[in-house]
Amino acid sequence: EPEVTQTPSHQVTQMGQEVILRCVPISNHLYFYWYRQILGQKVEFLVSFYNNEISEKSEIFDDQFSVERPDGSNFTLKIRSTKLEDSAMYFCASSSLKDQPQHFGDGTRLSIL
Amino acid sequence: AQSVTQLDSQVPVFEEAPVELRCNYSSSVSVYLFWYVQYPNQGLQLLLKYLSGSTLVKGINGFEAEFNKSQTSFHLRKPSVHISDTAEYFCAVSARSDDKIIFGKGTRLHILP
């Protein structure tokens, strides 16, 4: 069964540095998403992306964050000038259509030191 | 806005016993409902979904859920659990006009031998 893959599985970064989290969505999917889960808290929506632009974003997704689909297969989340509170598990998801279920990757655990 | 309440943070159940994980949602618009499961050190896997039609939804691994609009509930059930069902279970809701999924806090299912 096709899967969403995320790399790396664990990223450790110094506070203030930039980090890029990578995702390869399921190949025929058109909608892409990022979520995060701070330890002990709910999974929270960050952003959705369709047709090479952001279609919806949460208040968490401020100017520190950006997303990109640099080629036909990758979908990236960039976090500039990381803060301690950015430490979380980041999940990528994709869906074939807007109202179809989202399929999630295994996540990238981001640790900011 | 939508919200999801999972009433139990942890549920211990003996192996081969039935289980019900409770979920209530709040929304002023029509929604889709989901249950996701997260096994240890893995990502979120879709268990089942309610999009429309029959209110009793069957999913993978013998799980089912019933959509009750009057009680705004979407409880998850399994008639006989196995040790392999040990995981965290997330109820989630999405407005039909939205991209994002709103997750509950999760219920950790402990299977007792």
Neighbours of A5 (CB within 10 A): 15
- Chosen from B101, B102, B103 to mutate, greatest number of chain A CBs within 10 A: B101
Mean pLDDT within A29-47: 93
Task: Out of A4, A45, A101, name the one closest to residue B49 (CB).
Answer: A101
b/e map A52-90, b = 16+ CB within 10 Å = eeebebbeebeeebebebeeeeebebebeebeeebbbbb
What is the distance between the alpha carbons of residues B89 and B39, in angstroms, rounded to a whole number? 9
Cβ of B100 within 8 Å of Cβ of A99? The answer is no
Q: Residue with structure tokens 């179809």?
A: A100
Put simply, whether A33 touches B (Cβ < 8 Å) is: yes
pLDDT at position B113 is 86
Strand A103-104 to strand A88-95: parallel, antiparallel, or no bridges (unpaired)? Answer: antiparallel
Minimal CA–CA distance to B22: which of B60, B59, B72? B72
Residue A57: half-sphere exposure toward Cβ, Cα within 13 Å: 13
Q: Locate A37 and state its tokens.
A: 């889960």
Query: What 8-state DSSP symbol labels residue B74?
Result: E
Minimal CA–CA distance to A68: which of A53, A83, A79, A58? A53
Query: Which residue is closest to B48 within chain A, CA to CA?
Result: A101
Which residues in B lie closer than 8 A to residue A101 (C-beta atoms)? 34, 46, 49
Neighbours of B64 (CB within 10 A): 16
Which residues in A lie closer than 8 A to residue B50 (C-beta atoms)? none
Phi, psi of B62 (to 5 degrees): 80, 5
**Average predicted confidence (pLDDT) for chain B:** 93
Mean pLDDT within B33-57: 91
pLDDT more than 70, % of chain A: 99
pLDDT more than 90, % of chain A: 83
B62-100 pLDDT per residue, tens: 999 999 999 999 999 999 999 999 999 999 999 888 888
pLDDT at position A99 is 78
Which residues in A lie closer than 8 A to residue B49 (C-beta atoms)? 101
pLDDT at position A36 is 96
Task: Out of B43, B100, B103, name the one closest to residue A56 (CB).
Answer: B100
